[in-house]
Amino acid sequence: MALGTTLALVLLAGAPTQVAQQADASTVAPVDVAYEELADGKNIAAIERIEQNPDLERDDPARLINLGIAYARRGDDQTAREMFTAAARNQQRYRLETVQGDWMDSRDLARRALAMLDRGEFRTNGRVASR
């Protein structure tokens, strides 16, 4: 499934993804959004780490996407949907780096996460993360 490899970017079925915010092609600022915790399937720890990170704004797309992933894996589809929807509608746009090293627009990634949520892929595949 192309989504698993393509979207294994911040949130897909086989490999977790790394997320960094990229303002332009020459500037990349890494962001701590609990990549390791999500990669290890430690969803509660990921939620706690993201929520306690004072450097992340509440509407940061990478924050919203990874929180959505953690909640979806725990079976809280309503909260996950709220997070993904907020990221998809967010005026801030970032290019997020996937585990494969691909870059993807945060809005597109959030829309893919919503589609995955609708298909129940977070429960069956379990592994998704972004850094």
pLDDT value of position 91: 92
Give the residue extent of every domain in the chain. 2-125
3-state secondary structure of 130: coil
Taking only the tens place, the pLDDT of each residue in 68-122 is 999 999 999 999 999 999 999 999 888 887 656 678 899 999 999 999 999 999 8
* Residue 26 one-letter amino acid: S
User: Cα–Cα–Cα angle for 77, 33, 30, nearest 5°?
Assistant: 145
